[in-house]
Structure 1
Amino acid sequence: MVCDSAGSECPTEIGEDVSLKKALEDLLKCMLRVWCREGQALTKLGVPTTESDKRVVVKREAGGEFGFRIHGSKPVVVSAIEPDTPAESSGLEVGDIIMSVNGKSVMDATHSEVVRLAHSGTDVLELEVARTCNVLAPQLSRGGPKESAVEAPLYSGYLWRKAATSSNKWVRRWFALRRDNCLYYYKTDADSQPVGAVMLLKYDVTPTPDIRPHSFAITKPGAPTLHLAADTEDAASRWSTIISEAVEKNEQGDTWLDTSLRMQQMPACAIQRPDCFGYLSKQQDHGRKSTGSWSRRYCVLKDAALYFYDDANAERAFGVACLHGFRVHGSAPTAGRKHAFELQPSDPTQRTYTFATESEMDKKRWLAALEYSIDRWIKIG
């Protein structure tokens, strides 16, 4: 998981208290480390490098972001790359194993150690990576919306979207309706990161032939109208039906919501394999507006749902935030507190969450975990 900072060594034996799955994961990590070190040794001997061995230079602007996230420990793996960032233009790939950072080997470094090294003050990262896209596929792939059959969306395809800033401009986007009944849209069908999302709750779908042929609108009181258009009438009718069915399922209570509500009744320690956990300070809100007061909560993140507890020993969560379609923003300028960040919904009728951590390192841990958890849910939800 993203926030795992306690890396594991290669297993020596499988004891009764060690699960087979955990042992196999450790064995895979051991094999990957051997494979990476073999490549490093061949390079030093002058053997020509293969496509699996790359040197990538990621250069950010002063005070900016590199634009990629990592997870795991010993070794760490690139888990997400944000669009239009230095990481994307550098050629870095999701699934790359980072072997060294600016000449320093990080094969035996924990997640937090690599994060600390990457943010040590330099604006240029020279990374030596082992490319796994052709070795571990499809487990670690950059397939974007067009994924394997197991992870396929319920329905997907290109639609025209009317730009919010212009009455006449329409842009072509790849849309994917996923099992969380959230409609995600991407620049192209090859992208892995969506540029927007709409949680289809209490929306209406209405044909709008007067605006554009084969067009329809997704509307809800208090939310911006999303104008979409297909290339044919059949496609427009199909999309309208699919979206209307998703709205109806959400209103009846869908699987992801039912699961989140069930897990809310569990103690924090009973949530298996959380994406992250620990104490966060949460800014109190009134309706959808934040107030100036803060409360300290024990939080557990699992599959893009954040559960709130009074403390680590609480028997049940008193609340849950379903973060499907949310975006993680690393700053909260109006919060008036150090180490603050925001979770912003694509739907303005939903609540924006503002949190703060005790340290900058803990903030980076939570930011990476939240981005990984939300992105992972998009791919498997």
Structure 2
Amino acid sequence: MLFSSVVKRKIYFTELITSNSSSDSLRRKLEDLLKLMLLVWARESHVISKITAGERGVDKTIVVKSESGEFGFRIHGSKPVVVAAIEPETPAESSGLEVGDIIISVNGVEVLDKHHTEVVKIAHDGCETLELEVARTIGVLMHEQQEPPSQPIFSGYLWRQSGQAKGAPNTKKWVRRWFSLRPDNCLYYYKTEDDNQPVGAMIMAKHTVDHCPPEVGKPYAFKIDSGEGIPLYVAADTEELSSRWIKLLKQAATQGTPWLDNSAHNLYQPPCSITRPDCFGYLLKLGSRWCGWSKRYCVLKDACLYFYQDANSKTAFGMACLHGYKVSSMSTNASGKKNSFEIIPPETKLRHYYFCTESEMDKKRWISALEYSIDRWIKSG
């Protein structure tokens, strides 16, 4: 695809010019060019799908119905706007909307050429249902390296209880999801068995797995609990399947954590060897004790952020595990830097991280990727 080759060239040019501070204006022009190509590609997809009655399959129509006035997703950018984050257990999550979708129209109003504020106004213009035409880009924008597929220990459909933080257990809604327990002793779940990107994941180490009483509202249900966060309630279709899941998950909970071992292994690899990263590029990082900003090449993968001296480093000099962290934009007054953001720990004893980027677009890209990478992991502990 033409757009894919444009992305490759942008990455290549960025690597060439990041070492030269005098090339900032050229870098910004290249970013503007990429954004223009993104707009052209989305518009082309839109036109072709209209002409062919949707046969091309690039554009999708998504219907999102609000609950209590909330749709459950955030957008970044202008001309076009892009879906930046999707909150779990919300109408947006169940509608099929995905991070990276370019919004072409909202309730019949084309928004490709509209500013962020205009799109927000259209979306909240007294309407409880959004019909969104989107162009799906996540497959194009993802890094083209592919991880070798690992055969799951066990997979199948389970019922997952949603809305776990509110109300009594027997009043919750149950949704059907495809679950996969993999050799890294992590439990992943997907909207369907055909999806490649998990909606959520859980490291099974130190979790308990137990049958649930009938009061939970579903037969053959069991609870996965860390003892600290919100438990995960799931249910099988038969007693036999429920028993098998419980047995395998209990075994995984008592094993080591190959996922963590693999993350530690990545520390000793060059950045190019980390397959399918969620984001990568240069960031300015504030040192501990506010001792100054340093330029670092960073790679984000599965909510772990690896730090390198530069893109050609043979090993990383550090890593931050960001499970449970929150990402927030910062004002120039608060940080002393333009285009800055912070990564906030779930507990005060854990380290706080501060970064800034060379452009507003790059800042939005990193915040979106961090939110997406972190929010995939089920917050159970």
For residues 150 and 99 of structure 2, the distance between their equivalents in structure 1, rounded to whole angstroms, comes to 17
Q: Secondary structure at the match of 1:237?
A: helix
- Tell me the TM-score normalized by structure 2: 0.53
2:324 matches 1:317: no
Kindly state the Cα deviation for residue 209 of structure 1 after the two structures are TM-superposed: 4.0
Partner of 1:157: 157
Give the alignment partner of residue 186 of structure 2, picking from 160, 182, 186: 182
- The answer as to whether partners of 1:264 and 1:317 remain within 8 angstroms in 2 is yes
Where does 1:1-381 land on structure 2 (aligned, <5 Å)?
A: 6-7=9-10, 40=47, 48=51, 50-51=53-54, 52=56, 67=74, 82=86, 84=90, 102=111, 119=116, 123=120, 154-161=154-161, 163-168=164-169, 169-175=171-177, 176-179=179-182, 180-184=184-188, 197-209=201-213, 214-249=220-255, 251=256, 253-254=257-258, 256-268=259-271, 275-281=279-285, 296=294, 298-304=296-302, 305-309=304-308, 316-322=315-321, 329-331=327-329, 337=335, 339-342=340-343, 354-358=353-357, 360-370=360-370
For residues 62 and 234 of structure 2, the distance between their equivalents in structure 1, rounded to whole angstroms, comes to 39
The root-mean-square deviation of aligned C-alpha atoms, in Å, is 6.0
Q: Secondary structure at the match of 2:364?
A: helix
For residues 87 and 217 of structure 1, the distance between their equivalents in structure 2, rounded to whole angstroms, comes to 22
- The AA in structure 2 aligned to 1:172 is W
Q: Secondary structure at the match of 1:67?
A: strand
- The answer as to whether partners of 1:298 and 1:310 remain within 8 angstroms in 2 is yes
Q: Is the alpha carbon distance of 1:298 and 1:131 closer, same or farther for their aligned partners in structure 2, counting shifts above 3 Å? A: closer
- Tell me the TM-score normalized by structure 1: 0.53
Uncovered stretches (5+) of structure 1, i.e. residues with no partner = 10-29, 71-75, 105-116, 141-149, 285-290
For residues 274 and 199 of structure 2, the distance between their equivalents in structure 1, rounded to whole angstroms, comes to 30
Kindly state the Cα deviation for residue 234 of structure 1 after the two structures are TM-superposed: 1.6
Uncovered stretches (5+) of structure 2, i.e. residues with no partner = 13-36, 65-70, 124-131, 141-148
For residues 295 and 374 of structure 1, the distance between their equivalents in structure 2, rounded to whole angstroms, comes to 24
For residues 111 and 42 of structure 2, the distance between their equivalents in structure 1, rounded to whole angstroms, comes to 21
Kindly state the Cα deviation for residue 240 of structure 1 after the two structures are TM-superposed: 0.8
- The answer as to whether partners of 2:222 and 2:235 remain within 8 angstroms in 1 is yes
For residues 368 and 181 of structure 1, the distance between their equivalents in structure 2, rounded to whole angstroms, comes to 27
Kindly state the Cα deviation for residue 151 of structure 1 after the two structures are TM-superposed: 8.7
Q: Is the alpha carbon distance of 1:217 and 1:198 closer, same or farther for their aligned partners in structure 2, counting shifts above 3 Å? A: same
Partner deviation per Cα, 1:152-171 (whole Å, 9 max, x = no partner): 86423223538343344343
Partner deviation per Cα, 1:295-347 (whole Å, 9 max, x = no partner): 65624225323112466676532332355x767644479x95473243778xx
Q: Secondary structure at the match of 2:166?
A: coil
Count of aligned pairs between the two proteins = 304
